[in-house]
Amino acid sequence: MIQRVYRAFFAAFLIAATSPAQAAPSSAEPVEGREFVEIFGGKPASDAPGVEVAELFWYGCPHCYRAEPDVHEWLKRKPDHARFERIPMLLNAPAIEHAKAFYTAAGLGIEEKMHLPLFRALQVQRKRMTDPAEIQGLFQSVAGVTPEQFHAVFDSFEVDGKVRRTQVLASEWGVNSVPTVIVGGRYRTSGSMAGTYKRMMEVVDHLVERVHAEDAAEAAQTKN
């Protein structure tokens, strides 16, 4: 308990001492319990360096599609000490195929090229995108992916494992709706909590700096 209080105190000091060039864009301080909540015992999805910002989404979710412009704008201003990760949420049976499509694109190195086309296929063209042949057809038309290349990844144990892992993460983080953003595995915010998607990403700005400061405080305490 004392360790946690020390970390929180030192983190607050570091945030206050952050220079204007390093600080998040000017916006009102987010209200804990209303605009974000702490995930007690939470951990990031990976141990990679930097503050993890994980967006949980579903291609079949119109709210997630509407949030994309604000997420895209945030990526332009993302600080160097933050790293962004998308995690497809498994809300229903069709979402499993959509998650496999996402991880297939990532496995082929074309995540950014396929992300919006997959969204548009469901949200604009109103396709179901649950048939692997239909998904492969989109991959081929957008990125020239052959059926052989597609199925080598789509049907792989690696993709199946990543899809199962998303369910575990969502449960650990207490996520039951999308879009939701998890910062550092410790804090959760969403469009419904923040009020707008623009505000959601402003809250993310603050939480990134908070986690960054907490990590610095913990590192400083370890040295002492």
Residue 218 lies in a domain: no
Q: Please check whether residue 159 is in contact with residue 153, taking contact to mean a CB–CB distance below 8 angstroms.
A: yes
142 inside domain? yes
pLDDT-flagged residues of the chain (< 70): 1-26, 224
Residue 185 lies in a domain: yes
Is 166 among the domain residues?
A: yes
pLDDT at residue 27 in the model: 78
Query: For residue 223, what pLDDT is reported?
Result: 79
Q: Which domain holds residue 131?
A: 42-204
Nearest to 24 by CA among 208, 190, 182, 216: 208
Report the pLDDT value the prediction gives residue 221, as an integer from 0 to 100: 84
Whole-number pLDDT of residue 222: 80
Q: Tell whether 56 is covered by a domain.
A: yes
pLDDT digits (tens, 9 = 90+) for 210-221: 999 999 999 888
Q: How much is the pLDDT for 24?
A: 46
Please indicate, yes or no, if residue 87 is contained in any of the structural domains. yes
Query: Hey, is 53 helix, strand or coil?
Result: strand
CA dihedral 184, 187, 190, 194 (to 10 degrees): -120
Q: Identify whether 214 is part of a domain.
A: no
93 within some domain: yes
Give the count of domains, the chain: 1
- What is the CATH classification number for the domain harbouring 63? 3.40.30.10
Please give the pLDDT value at position 26.
52
Question: pTM of the prediction?
Answer: 0.88
State residue 85's pLDDT score. Answer: 98
